[in-house]
Each structure stands twice: as C-alpha cells, then as structure tokens.
Amino acid sequence: MNRFYILIALLFTGFGLSAQQEAVSGCNDPNGGIQIRFNAADNCSALADLTEFTALGFHSGANGWMNVVEWSAGATAENQGEGLFVVYIADPEAYYGLDNVTRFDFVFNQGATAPADPWSAEGKGEDADGNCVDFFVERADITETCDFTVSTIELAEELNFRVSPNPFGELALVEFANPQNDAFQVVLNSIDGQELRRWNNVRGEQLRIEKGNLTPGYYSLRFISADGRVGATKLIVK
C-alpha cells in the first residue's frame, strides 16, 4: 500500500514538471549553436499576455542558475510570429563562461521592448498548482534540429578581441575590429554574473579598463550590438 502511494506521488510530480515546461523547448540550429523557443500563448496564466511583443529580454543562467547573464547584457528573444519567441546562443560555454553547460535556466521579461520597466511583464512556466516558476531546459534533451536557422556570425569573431596585458594590474587595453564605427553597449560582469560596470555608445576600436575596485580574478566583458548580438571576451585581474 505504501508503495502504491509513493508511485502515485511520483506520477503527479512528473506531471507537474512536464506542465512547467510546456511553453519552452530547445533545438540545435542548423548552422551551429542552439535555439531556445518560448510559446508565449502558454505563458503562466497568472502573468501578462506577451504574444504581441516584438522582442523579450532573456534573463538566464546555467546549471542551476550559475553565472547569470542579465537580460540587458545577453541574447534577445525575437518574436518569429504568432507569439513564438526564439533565443539564439552560438556557444553556450562562452556565453555563460563555464566549461560544460548541462542545463539552461531562464525567464523572460518585457525589457527588450520596454527597457524602462522590464519586469512589469514576465514569461514563466506554470507548475501543477498554478504557481509561476522559472523555466529550464536540459542540454541532453536538445536532440532535434531546428526547422529554421536564426544563427548569425558570432560577434566575438567579427570583433577579434585583443586584451593587453591580460592578466592586468592597473589598466588593460581592449582592442577590437570596428571598421564601420558601430556603437556598442559594453558590460563588465563578475564570474557569477553580477554587473559591475556599463558603458553606452562605445565606438572606435579601443576601450580602456581600469582596475579600480576590481578584486583579483576572472571577469567577462560583453559587447552588445544594436541588433542584439553579443560578443564576449575574458579579463583577468591580478
């Protein structure tokens, strides 16, 4: 009898986890990298309707919310039509600064469309009790090839970063290829995803990073283009 009740409990737990993930899925982009897809029509019922938004912020981490990438410093979920939002990550290990990404943890917000008030509208899963919960996709479950590609040339390859010296003491010079004088938003994050500094409208081909109050360790410097692509390089403070 006890085994029977345990089995029933496990079944209901399984149904709850399945329901949580109804709105999202992952697939392998035909040109490399992965896509994470969110059907806004299946957003948590207690939250706002996101189907008509043109883009959403993608607030995420990996392997149980490690190395969080803020929605404002990472990829954008683009509406492909009828409320199907697609996020493209060319290189998950580089994106999260981890050696082995096994799970993607994430939520969505309206920040890409309404950056002044990002969290007034959110995208989350729904558990068996109707509670709004964070999404996750296991890397091992991403086995299908996507039916269309949204990949682009990785921005980091285009920028061809050069950091000297690296590791650095008081000052590092970040050089990058920018022949069209494009404008970038640049964000410096700690290894655990905390935003430490931000530069807006960065042009030219050089950026000076002063040590200031940075403690010794690894940091991620992310360049975000006007079309939402992200390229990152690592800094090491000694």
What structural domains and CATH numbers belong to the chain?
2-141 (2.60.40), 155-237 (2.60.40.1930)
The per-residue pLDDT for range 10-34, each reduced to its tens digit, is 333 333 333 346 899 999 988 788 9
pLDDT, tens only, 139-177: 999 999 998 887 665 677 889 999 999 999 999 999 999
**3-class secondary structure per residue, the chain:** CHHHHHHHHHHHHHHHHHHHCCCEEEEECCCCCEEEEEEHHHCCCCCCCCCCCCEEEEEEEECCCEEEECHHHCCEEEECCCCEEEEEECCHHHHHCCCCCCEEEEEEEHHHCCCCCHHHCEECEECCCCCEECEEEEHHHCCCECCCCCCCCCHHHHHCCEEECCCECCEEEEECCCCCCCCEEEEEEECCCCEEEEEEEECCCEEEEECCCCCCEEEEEEEECCCCCEEEEEEEEC
Predicted TM-score of the model (pTM): 0.62
Q: What is the pLDDT of residues 30-68, one digit of tens each?
A: 878 899 999 999 999 999 999 999 889 999 999 999 999
How confident is the model over 75-91, as a mean pLDDT? 89
Q: Is the pLDDT of residue 1 over 60?
A: no
